[in-house]
């Protein structure tokens, strides 16, 4: 009878602790020791800092497929960890630390999980589920890397600068359609933007299909790198000034109606209308000019595109400053890409 009573009391005590004891994912203990104040402050600081950094990163890019964002989304679903509460119990903090150690997100070799972290754990299913999420992420990344290497072997050579033997404009005119993403790279990457590529940039922003973000980034970059006293001697007249002013007038008149590309993709020069006007005021003063048009409604990277980014023709090419004109990787499913 005493054994039965003891069993009932133990089960009742266990059930109470599980329901109300805020045990996190850990088994209840008869001889439980709380964190010392300094140790608790330490663990709280680590937990809060890690959560804050990951949360900020996730809010900045909620669609990110990075492992930190994926883990955060799943961790927030685990009610036993108490993320929705104003304060955490010691065992909730212990659970979180143990779970992070068991997931071991920074380790690429996933063959030997730290089984010792499962000792004293009540919800092993949660630990195994979270470990599998990280394992699957690394497996998918390895598969993507393999697919990319296979594509490199298939294409042989990514560099396509040999296609520019007749010049940038001739190459662009030879394409089957308007590749707005390729255009954006060519016209808005201002490193070594001169000569034939600068001619091509002006050709691009004269096209009806040119994206509004491309025109905006081109205007901002041209002002900063070609008309700003920080980069050039503004007492010397810019050779393409009239062509550039025509782009500003076309922009202000609403020529570029489609916005399919995020601004700032290729340039770190983000000017607002006021800063653009300041550059033009100084340029006017240096040149003895008046009434140059000011760009209105320049786009920055916080403004999301309003149109589909698949608009127009998709060539197999891309342009980046460090890679030049090159073949663009179609993605892991490249064998089925058209």
pLDDT at 227 over 90: yes
- Angstrom distances, CA of residue 175 to CA of 163, 202, 204: 11, 17, 13
**Which strand (E) or helix (H) includes residue 153?**
helix 124-155
pLDDT at 168 over 70: yes
pLDDT number for residue 274: 95
Q: Residue 173: pLDDT band by 50, 70, 90 thresholds?
A: very high
Identify whether residues 325 and 238 lie together within a single domain: yes
Quickly tell me which residue has 């296609």 as its tokens: 163
Least confident of 23-27, 50-54, 230-234, 244-248: 50-54
What is the spatial distance between Cα 331 and Cα 61, in angstroms, rounded to a whole number? 20
**Range 90-116 average pLDDT:** 93
**Range 118-144 average pLDDT:** 94
Residue 154 CA neighbour count, 13 Å, CB half: 11
Identify whether residues 17 and 145 lie together within a single domain: yes
Identify whether residues 106 and 215 lie together within a single domain: no
Identify whether residues 97 and 224 lie together within a single domain: no
> CB within 8 A of 203, min separation 6: which ones?
168, 169, 172
Buried b (16+ CB within 10 A) or exposed e, 242-253: eebeebbebbee
Identify whether residues 167 and 145 lie together within a single domain: no
Identify whether residues 59 and 82 lie together within a single domain: yes
Identify whether residues 55 and 185 lie together within a single domain: no
CA dihedral of 35, 38, 44, 46, whole degrees rounded to 10? -120
Identify whether residues 147 and 210 lie together within a single domain: no
Identify whether residues 206 and 148 lie together within a single domain: no
Q: How many domains is the chain built from?
A: 2
Identify whether residues 203 and 261 lie together within a single domain: yes
> CB within 8 A of 17, min separation 6: which ones?
23, 28
- Angstrom distances, CA of residue 315 to CA of 181, 278, 328: 9, 38, 9
pLDDT at 63 over 60: no
Q: What number of other Cβ atoms are within 10 A of residue 301's Cβ? A: 13
pLDDT at 226 over 90: yes
Of 119, 152, 185, which residue sits at a domain end? 152
What is the spatial distance between Cα 326 and Cα 161, in angstroms, rounded to a whole number? 7
pLDDT at 19 over 50: no
Quickly tell me which residue has 């109606």 as its tokens: 257
**Range 1-16 average pLDDT:** 57
DSSP 8-state class, residue 122: S
Chain centroid, CA 297 distance in Å: 24
Percent of the chain's residues with pLDDT above 70: 87
pLDDT number for residue 85: 80
Identify whether residues 148 and 167 lie together within a single domain: no
What is the spatial distance between Cα 96 and Cα 202, in angstroms, rounded to a whole number? 55
Identify whether residues 83 and 169 lie together within a single domain: no
**Range 198-205 average pLDDT:** 98
pLDDT number for residue 160: 93
Q: For the chain, how long is the longest CA-to-CA vector?
A: 105
Highest mean pLDDT among 22-36, 40-54, 131-145: 131-145
Of 152, 183, 203, which residue sits at a domain end? 152
Highest mean pLDDT among 82-86, 90-94, 135-139: 135-139
Show the domain range for 196: 161-336
> CB within 8 A of 184, min separation 6: which ones?
211, 213, 214, 217, 261, 265, 266
Tokens of 16: 């109470």
**Range 284-296 average pLDDT:** 95
CA dihedral of 194, 199, 201, 204, whole degrees rounded to 10? -170
Tell me the Ramachandran region of residue 170: left when phi exceeds 0, alpha when psi lies from -120 to 50, beta otherwise. alpha
Average pLDDT score, the chain: 87
Least confident of 92-101, 219-228, 251-260, 323-332: 323-332
Quickly tell me which residue has 């990787």 as its tokens: 329
Least confident of 24-33, 43-52, 297-306, 316-325: 43-52
The pTM assigned to this predicted structure is 0.66
């Amino acid at each position: 009878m005493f054994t039965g009573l003891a069993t009932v009391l133990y089960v009742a005590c266990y059930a109470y602790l599980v329901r109300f004891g805020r045990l996190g994912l850990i088994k209840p203990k008869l001889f439980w020791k709380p964190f010392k104040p300094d140790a608790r402050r330490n663990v709280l600081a680590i937990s809060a800092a890690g959560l804050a950094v990951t949360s900020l990163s996730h809010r900045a890019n909620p669609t990110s497929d990075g492992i930190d964002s994926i883990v955060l989304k799943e961790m927030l679903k685990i009610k036993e960890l108490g993320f929705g509460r104003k304060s955490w119990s010691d065992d909730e903090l212990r659970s979180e630390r143990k779970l992070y150690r068991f997931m071991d997100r920074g380790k690429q070799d996933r063959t030997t999980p730290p089984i010792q972290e499962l000792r004293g754990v009540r919800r092993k299913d949660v630990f195994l589920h979270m470990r599998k999420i990280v394992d699957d992420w690394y497996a998918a990344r390895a598969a993507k890397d393999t697919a990319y290497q296979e594509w490199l072997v298939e294409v042989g050579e990514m560099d396509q600068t040999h296609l520019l033997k007749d010049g940038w404009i001739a190459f662009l005119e030879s394409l089957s359609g308007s590749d707005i993403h390729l255009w954006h790279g060519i016209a808005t990457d201002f490193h070594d933007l001169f000569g034939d590529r600068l001619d091509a940039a002006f050709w691009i922003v004269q096209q009806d299909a040119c994206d509004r973000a491309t025109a905006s980034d081109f205007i901002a970059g041209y002002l900063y790198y070609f008309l700003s006293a920080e980069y050039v001697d503004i007492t010397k007249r810019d050779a393409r000034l009239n062509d550039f002013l025509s782009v500003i007038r076309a922009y202000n008149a609403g020529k570029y109606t489609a916005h399919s590309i995020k601004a700032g993709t290729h340039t770190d020069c983000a000017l607002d209308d006021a800063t653009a006007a300041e550059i033009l005021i100084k340029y006017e003063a240096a040149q003895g000019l008046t009434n140059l048009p000011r760009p209105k409604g320049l786009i920055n990277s916080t403004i999301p595109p309003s149109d589909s980014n698949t608009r127009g023709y998709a060539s197999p090419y891309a342009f980046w400053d460090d890679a030049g004109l090159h073949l663009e990787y179609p993605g892991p499913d490249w064998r089925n890409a058209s």
